[in-house]
Chain A
Amino acid sequence: MSEESPLQVTPGRSLSLLKARSGLIARGLRDAAELVTQNVPLLSTRRLAEQGDAAAQYELGEAYYKGHGVPRDYAEARVWFRKAADQFHPYAISDLGDMYERGEGVPADQTEASHFYLRAADIAIADGGDWDPDWVLGAVWQGAQYGHADAQFFLGCCYASGKSMLQQDHTEAVKWYRKAADQGHVEAQFNLGWAHENGKGVIQDYGEAAKWWRKAAEQGYSQAQYNLGWADRNGRGVAQDHGEAGIWYCKAAQQGHADAQFELGRKYYGGEGVPQDHTEAVKWYRKAADQGHANAQHNLGVAYYYGKGVAQDFREAAEWVRRAAEQGNETAMFALGYLCQAGQGLPQDHAKAAGWFRQAAERGNTPAQASLGAIYRDGQGVPQDYVQAHMWFNLSASVSSGDEQTRLSAERDGACQRV
């Protein structure tokens, strides 16, 4: 009897679950199931975050910020972003900047926002960070907007090179260089000068180029000092002034700029804008040569050969000329061939001489071509070959002039008759 309707026998409360329309309980169950699936990953993240893991702190903040897996909660997001930011987590720092800029969960505060954006930009442009390229670009962009000179320069470079996912755009590049340059950013000043020199993103204007190089040069940027020296020497955008050129070359040279050292050496050697001083010339050639500057090595060798500014020494001359020749300097190759042939500073060796002449001749060095013609004519270090002699004499005669051309043409014709 009673088992038919137990509720009548022991009337308890009428539970909704025994009613057909208990939609509310089912709803709770559905939402609870959703909560469970949503909260599982966050549980482990939260545990890590509480243990001080910066990545987990950022992830948790992000979840609250975007409302992923948890209801959106800006206050909670800010707490976790701050913890991560204190550990220099770059993305958290950027997000804090966003929150202050947009006034999310806090009153909008541009000063506070800029504080975070500038910090993020610092990290973004520092070397060696393996950050998300999207983030780097965003952080640099924000930093640049807030007047971060390095970021502005960086952004200009990105536009100039078309790297970091930006379309190459020289006009934009110049815009950002200018912002940074106006803040005294020396590399930006230099690049702005370069843009004017080459007419990239602006109308070509050598005067403007020299103006920006001067600003950078005055801040001690050696490449700008060298470029300004070069402009002064060649009268490019400024009045030609060898004295001024010498001053800037000297400043750059003193900072170890190899090209400037070489140019300064040349000035002293030839007495261009400075009193001629071979000793001083040799001093600067040597500094550049020691840095591997091939032209300086060659010129140093020449100074040793003639004993100008330094005691004459063929061995030293041959040594420096060889270093330059081995770097592919054709003038040095010819000189080295000459020294081999003459046995000056190194043992006489016609075969080696022929080798160096050939290398220089094939690069278009006219004296080497003439010497090679003579070698084939005489069979010195190579088997005698009038056809080869004719060819090399002909080549060298075609680019020579005056007596030299007459002499070489006669040699060529002589070789032709022997053939």
Chain B
Amino acid sequence: MSGQITRRLKPEDEELRRKREELTAIRSALAERELELVDFRNQLAGFEGRYLRQVGTLYAELDEWKARISELRARLDPSPAANAQAEKNREQARQTYEEAHGKASETREFTRSPELRSLFREVAKGIHPDLSKDAADHERRTRFMADANRAYEGGDADALRRILDEYQDGADAVEGEGIGAELVRIIRQISLAKDRVAAIERELVTLRQGEIAMLMKQAEQKQRDGGDLLAELEKSVRGQIDATRNEYEAIAKQEAKPA
């Protein structure tokens, strides 16, 4: 794709300088947005983990009792409808259990230090995949960026530094291209970076409209009012569990009676 434009003109030098500046600026902006996105995702994931541990597991317990009730009913008074209901509730209980005790529930919340944030910003500026020169470079950058994301999420500053050092060893390896070729490359990089910024914006909007973000927003609102939404939810579901368990025990007593 390079090598088509070979003329060397003064204005092109000027244009190249301007485009380089533009690319630098957009790299900074992109790094900021990237940081914002990863922070928001982390925040959501952490909240989701807390929600699943505190409330989700209780929903699993509630569904378990409901499943047991319908199974007991099906046993006491068997019918195709009762059996189908029992199977349906058992499947629901299984799904809820999986969700509540799944991987997401292990996520813990913690605040990233300013050092970690600025380190990630540097990495994002330097090795962002959308800034790649060619396909091979893109692949390499993608790999580095994925590692950087993981390191940031894990709060591992040393790993981030290592990734940055390692990347810089092989960075700007392409030398000796002409001004025209460089200009085209930079213009393409700018365009890609802009696309990426737009994509990040879209993703942020999607995330903010999502259910978990809405729940988190309500919890934050509650906290400002001096309440604790998750604690209240917990209490409410525990109440539902108590009622359901009582119902189960009442039916079980019925079963225990000799027919």
Contacts and interface: CB of A to CB of B under 8 A. Distances in A.
A17 B239 contact: no
A17 B47 CA distance: 12
B71 to A, nearest CB: 20
Contacts of B232: 32, 35, 39
Given A17-B212, A26-B211, A10 B239 contact: no
B153 A28 contact: no
B14 to A, nearest CB: 30
Contacts of A31: 233, 236-237
Contact of A2 (B45, B129, B149): B129
B45 A24 contact: no
Contacts of B200: 6
A32 B146 contact: no
Interface in B211-244: 211-215, 218, 229, 232-233, 235-239
Contacts of B55: 28
B145 A28 contact: no
A29 B211 contact: yes
B89 interface: no
Given A10-B37, A17-B210, A71-B239, 12 more contacts: A2-B192, A12-B41, A13-B41, A13-B45, A14-B103, A17-B44, A17-B213, A21-B99, A24-B52, A24-B59, A26-B211, A28-B55
Interface string B106-145: 0100000000000000000000011000000000001001
A16 B129 contact: no
B42 interface: yes
Interface in A12-70: 12-18, 21-29, 31-32, 34-36, 39, 67
Given A12-B38, A71-B238, A71-B239, A6 B203 contact: yes
Contacts of B38: 10, 12
A72 B214 contact: no
A33 to B, nearest CB: 8
Contacts, number: 114
B198 interface: yes
A9 B99 contact: no
A11 interface: yes
B101 to A, nearest CB: 11
Contact of B145 (A10, A14, A25, A71): A10
Interface in A246-286: none
A3 interface: yes
14 contacts: A3-B196, A6-B200, A10-B149, A14-B103, A14-B104, A15-B48, A16-B99, A24-B52, A25-B211, A28-B59, A31-B236, A31-B237, A67-B239, A71-B235
B100 interface: yes
A11 B146 contact: yes
Contacts of B215: 25, 28-29, 32
Contacts of A29: 211, 214-215, 218
A71 B104 CA distance: 29
A194 to B, nearest CB: 53
A127 to B, nearest CB: 43
Contacts of A24: 52, 56, 59, 96, 99-100
A13 B195 contact: no
Interface of A: 1-3, 6, 9-18, 21-29, 31-32, 34-36, 39, 67, 71-72
A330 B11 CA distance: 136
A228 B215 CA distance: 81
A26 B237 CA distance: 14
A22 B38 CA distance: 21
B95 interface: yes
A28 B44 CA distance: 15
A35 to B, nearest CB: 5
A25 B218 CA distance: 13
B142 A9 contact: yes
A15 B199 contact: no
Interface string B163-205: 0000000000000000000000000000010011011101100
B51 interface: yes
A72 B239 CA distance: 8
B31 to A, nearest CB: 12
Nearest to B138: A1
B34 interface: yes
Contact of A22 (B99, B145, B214, B233): B99
Contacts of B198: 3
A11 B147 CA distance: 9
Contacts of A72: 239
Contacts of B44: 15, 17
Nearest to B212: A17
Top 3 nearest A-B pairs (CB, nearest first) are A3-B199, A71-B239, A17-B210
A71 B235 CA distance: 7
Nearest to B104: A16
Nearest to A27: B59
B64 to A, nearest CB: 14
A28 B168 CA distance: 46
Given A15-B212, A24-B52, A72-B239, A35 B129 contact: no
Given A6-B199, A10-B38, A23 B96 contact: yes
B196 A2 contact: yes
A39 B226 CA distance: 13
Given A2-B196, A6-B203, A12 B239 contact: no
A12 B42 contact: yes
A35 B230 CA distance: 11
Nearest to B152: A12
Contacts of A10: 34, 37-38, 145-146, 149
B149 A32 contact: no
A34 B51 CA distance: 17
A87 to B, nearest CB: 26
Interface string B87-106: 00000000110011001100
Contacts of A25: 48, 51, 211-212, 215
A10 B203 CA distance: 12
A263 B59 CA distance: 84
A23 B102 CA distance: 13
Contacts of A3: 195-196, 198-199, 202
